Amino acid sequence: MSTSTRRGRTTARYGRGQYPAQTRDITTVNKFLAPCTRCGCDVPTGTGYAIKPVDTGKWETRHQEPRKVDGRTVGGCPIDVDLAEVLGQDPPAFDRHMVRQTVDTMGRDIIVIPDVVAVRIYAETKKGWREFRGHADGESRKFGKGTWMYDATSLIMIEYAANPPSRDEYDHRDPDDARGDVERSARYRKGTLQHGHMAGCAFIVGESGWNFDAHWWRDHGTTRHLHPNGFPYLTDNGTAVQYGG
DSSP per-residue letters across 55-69: TT-S-EEEEPPPEEE
23 close to 39: Cβ distance less than 8 angstroms = no
pLDDT-derived band at 8 (thresholds 50, 70, 90) equals very low
| Residue ranges covered by each domain of the chain | 2-78, 87-244
pLDDT tens-place string over residues 122-177: 999 988 888 765 555 788 999 999 999 999 999 999 999 998 888 888 888 888 88
Beta bridge partners of 51: 60
pLDDT band at 59 (very low <50, low <70, confident <90, very high): confident
| Cα dist from 24 to 11, 41, 64, 245, whole Å | 6, 20, 13, 31
pLDDT of residue 124: 94
Question: How far is the C-alpha of 41 from the C-alpha of 182, rounded, in Å?
Answer: 34
d(Cα 47, Cα 32) in Å, to the nearest integer? 13
Tell me how crowded residue 56 is: count the other CB atoms within 10 A of its CB.
9
Q: Does residue 92 or residue 229 have the better pLDDT?
A: 92
Q: How large is the average pLDDT for residues 186-202?
A: 84
* pLDDT, greater one: 46 or 31: 46
pLDDT at 69: 78
Query: In the prediction, which pLDDT does 204 show?
Result: 95
The rounded distance, in Å, linking the Cα atoms of 93 and 114 is 10
Question: What pTM was computed for the model?
Answer: 0.77
- What is the C-alpha separation between 48 and 112, in angstroms, rounded? 32
